[in-house]
């Protein structure tokens, strides 16, 4: 199969573009190059202008819709518009997360109840909420992909409440994969190595984390957003038709290493 035809005739919703550094944007470029038609959802008015400009410049004609995932009515509205415009789709990329900056610093021990619930709500529950509204429109063979990080399994300094939310997200991937498998819909996660993005900046000493990882990966380098996008493209395409409920690492092998 030629890469430029891997997703030809397929429609995907991409959630989580904030700017050109977003992993979701790299995924959108890979999917578009593979022939997919795309819809984008952005968090709120603050992100609208930037996302609109990017999409107009590089993927004019794509649908552009607001959706703050903490708001059920916004997710309902997103689903209603996609149903009206497209009728059906072939998959969703869920590439979003949030935790309070002060909880991504210091000890996990100090996590507040409010900060814990907020991180879980946006970074983990939203996958279930979005899947619940969209799966009736997803065609057999469809693919739902989310983004996770190894801080779900191991203690990564300052990642704290987000690591716990990613553990919950990864468990959600398995439960959703079991629920939707009989309908021929697959659900997987890409566990990306650390990449400099807007969200990553919120984690204290993120640059130090990058340096520490780079020397230790088997490939002696960090994965970039385009490589993560390539893994997402595989998971979106028929090449991965038997893969579901999986956490696939795009991290230059860092996950296999001891300390
Ligand atoms: P990013 O800041 O570009 O993207 C995060 C997105 O989350 C933004 O578009 C933001 O608008 C969106 N978001 C936050 N709260 C939201 C809400 N309430 N409603 C809707 N959208 C909301 O950063 P990124 O690094 O591209 O992050 C994308 C995904 O990749 C996240 O799940 C992140 O945890 C994951 N990830 C990132 C790294 C990394 O090192 N950058 C590594 C592994 C996994």
| Angstrom distance (rounded) from CA 35 to CA 57 | 17
- For the segment 157-171, the average pLDDT, to the nearest whole number, is 98
Q: What is the pLDDT of residues 95-113, one digit of tens each?
A: 999 999 999 999 999 999 9
Residue keyed to tokens 């429609």: 11
Catalytic-residue membership of 166: yes
State the Cα–Cα distance between residues 241 and 249, nearest whole angstrom. 18
- Annotate the chain with three-state secondary structure: CCHHHCCCCCEEEEECCCCCCCHHHHHHHHHHHCCCEEEEEECCHHHHHHHHHHHHHHHCCCEEEECCCCCHHHHHHHHHHHHHHCCCEEEEEECCCCCCHHHCCCCHHHCCHHHHHHHHHHHHHHHHHHHHHHHHHEEEEEEEEEEECHHHCCCCCCCHHHHHHHHHHHHHHHHHHHHHHHHCCEEEEEEECCCCCCCHHHCCCHHHHHHHHHHHCCCCCCCCHHHHHHHHHHHHCHHHCCCCCCEEEECCCHHHCCC
* Domains of the chain: residue spans and CATH: 3-256 (3.40.50.720)
Q: Give the pLDDT band of residue 80 (cuts 50, 70, 90).
A: very high
For residue 140, what are its two tokens? Answer: 């057999």
**pLDDT at residue 12, as a whole number:** 98
Ligand 1 pocket test: pick from 78, 199, 228 the residue with the most ligand atoms within 8 Å of its Cβ.
199
Mean pLDDT to the nearest integer, 156-161: 97
Q: The tokens 């107009």 sit on which residue?
A: 56
pLDDT of residue 114 exceeding 80, the answer is yes
- The reported pLDDT for the residue numbered 227 is 98
* Token reading at 8: 């030809």
Q: In this structure, what token pair is assigned to residue 59?
A: 């993927």
The confidence score (pLDDT) of residue 135 equals 98
pTM here is: 0.98
User: Which residues 6+ apart lie within 8 Å of 153 measured at CB?
Assistant: 167, 255
Q: Which of 15, 9, 61 is nearest to 35 (CA)?
A: 9
pLDDT of 145 above 90: yes
Average pLDDT in the chain: 97
Q: Does 259 score more than 90 pLDDT?
A: no
> Which residue matches tokens 């709120």?
44
Q: Which two tokens stand for residue 69?
A: 């995932």
Express each pLDDT in 188-220 by its tens digit: 999 999 999 999 999 999 999 898 899 999 999
User: Residue 188 forms beta bridges with which residues?
Assistant: 145
Residue pair 146/97 in contact (Cβ under 8 Å)? The answer is no
Closest approach atom of ligand 1 to CA 68: 19
Mutate to test the pocket of ligand 1, among 68, 97, 162 (most ligand atoms within 8 A of CB): 97
Residues touching ligand 1 (Cβ under 6 Å) are 16-18, 22-24, 43, 47, 68-70, 95-98, 122, 147-149, 192, 194-195, 197-200
Annotated active-site residue in 159, 204, 249, 254: 159
Active site includes 159? yes
> What is the pLDDT at residue 131?
99
Residue 55's pLDDT band, with cuts at 50, 70 and 90, is: very high
The answer on pLDDT for 1 being more than 80 is no
**Averaged pLDDT, 143-148:** 99
Closest CA to 74 of 45, 115, 106: 45
Asked if the model's pLDDT at residue 2 lies above 90, the reply is no
């Amino acid at each position: 199969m030629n890469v430029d035809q891997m997703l030809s005739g397929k429609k995907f919703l991409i959630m989580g573009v904030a700017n050109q550094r977003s992993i979701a944007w790299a995924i959108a470029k890979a999917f578009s190059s593979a022939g997919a038609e795309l819809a984008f959802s952005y968090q709120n008015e603050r992100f609208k202008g930037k996302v609109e400009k990017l999409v107009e410049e590089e993927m004019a004609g794509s649908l552009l819709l607001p959706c703050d995932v903490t708001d059920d009515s916004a997710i309902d509205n997103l689903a209603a518009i996609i149903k009206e415009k497209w009728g059906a789709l072939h998959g969703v990329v869920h590439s979003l997360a949030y935790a309070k900056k002060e909880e991504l610093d210091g000890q996990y021990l100090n996590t507040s109840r409010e900060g814990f619930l907020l991180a879980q709500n946006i970074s983990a529950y939203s996958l279930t909420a979005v899947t619940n509204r969209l799966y009736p429109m997803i065609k057999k063979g469809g693919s739902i992909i989310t983004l996770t990080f190894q801080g779900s399994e191991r203690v990564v300094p300052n990642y704290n409440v987000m690591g716990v939310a990613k553990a919950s997200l990864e468990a959600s991937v398995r439960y959703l994969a079991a629920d939707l498998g009989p309908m021929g819909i697959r659900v997987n996660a890409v566990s990306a190595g650390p990449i400099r993005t807007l969200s990553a900046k919120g984690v204290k000493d993120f640059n130090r984390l990058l340096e520490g990882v780079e020397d230790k990966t088997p490939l002696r380098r960090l994965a970039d957003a385009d490589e993560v996008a390539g893994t997402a493209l595989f998971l979106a395409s028929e090449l991965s038709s038997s893969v579901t409920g999986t956490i696939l690492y795009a991290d230059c092998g860092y996950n296999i290493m001891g300390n």
